[in-house]
Amino acid sequence: MSDTAEAFVLDRMSTPIGELLIAVDGEARLRILDFGDYDERMHRLLRRRYGPDGVRLEDGRAPASIRQPIEAYFAGDLTALDAIPVKTAGTPFQLAVWAALRTIPAGETLSYGALAARIGRPSAVRAVGLANGANPIGVVVPCHRVIGADASLTGYGGGLERKRWLLSHEGAHFTAPGGGQLELTLAP
């Protein structure tokens, strides 16, 4: 590891949708939020965003300013995540998409096309989808609130079961793939 590597505290939190991996920088900003069963993806994302020696993860506890809003969100305070400061590396386009995601209120959804229009790039639907899928701060930067133009549940990096749970938790309306019900089968 390089001496110039940025140090992030890596915390783990239990939630109704599984363990969360939370990386926080020295200024108490959320830098990564992923799921425990995607640990390798989180490390790959960190290498891609910050270089192979750009980040050093140190096991520890995230500050209350991060943990408490996450706990409150899962307890039913759907706006609690709005107060969490975030920072990540990305292209200017990705950063614009991720900022726009934070403007989608809990309980509401947008299509990829509507999100592209919201950032002033209505023809960039596919690029918006790619940026949405590359979001390193799931749940807090609510990429789960983006659904198909026909209100169908589309892909989610944490799995469709989690996306369904999150949208249901927030009271959003969507259609399961194939028009049927989607079973939620998450381990405790």
- Torsion sign (Cα): 33, 158, 128, 112: negative
What is the Cα gyration radius of the chain? 16
Structure tokens at 10: 């890596």
Are 66 and 30 contacting, i.e. CB atoms less than 8 angstroms apart?
yes
- SS3 at position 13: strand
Q: Of 158, 99, 108, 170, nearest to 133 (Cα)?
A: 158
Structure tokens at 178: 């194939």
Distance CA(13)–CA(59), nearest Å, equals 12
Identified catalytic residue from 13, 143, 147, 166: 143
Distance CA(144)–CA(163), nearest Å, equals 6
Half-sphere exposure of 186 (CA within 13 A, CB side): 21
Report the run of H or E that residue 147 belongs to, with start and end. strand 146-147
Told to judge if 21 belongs to the known catalytic residues of this protein, a careful annotator would answer: no
Which residues are catalytically annotated? 143
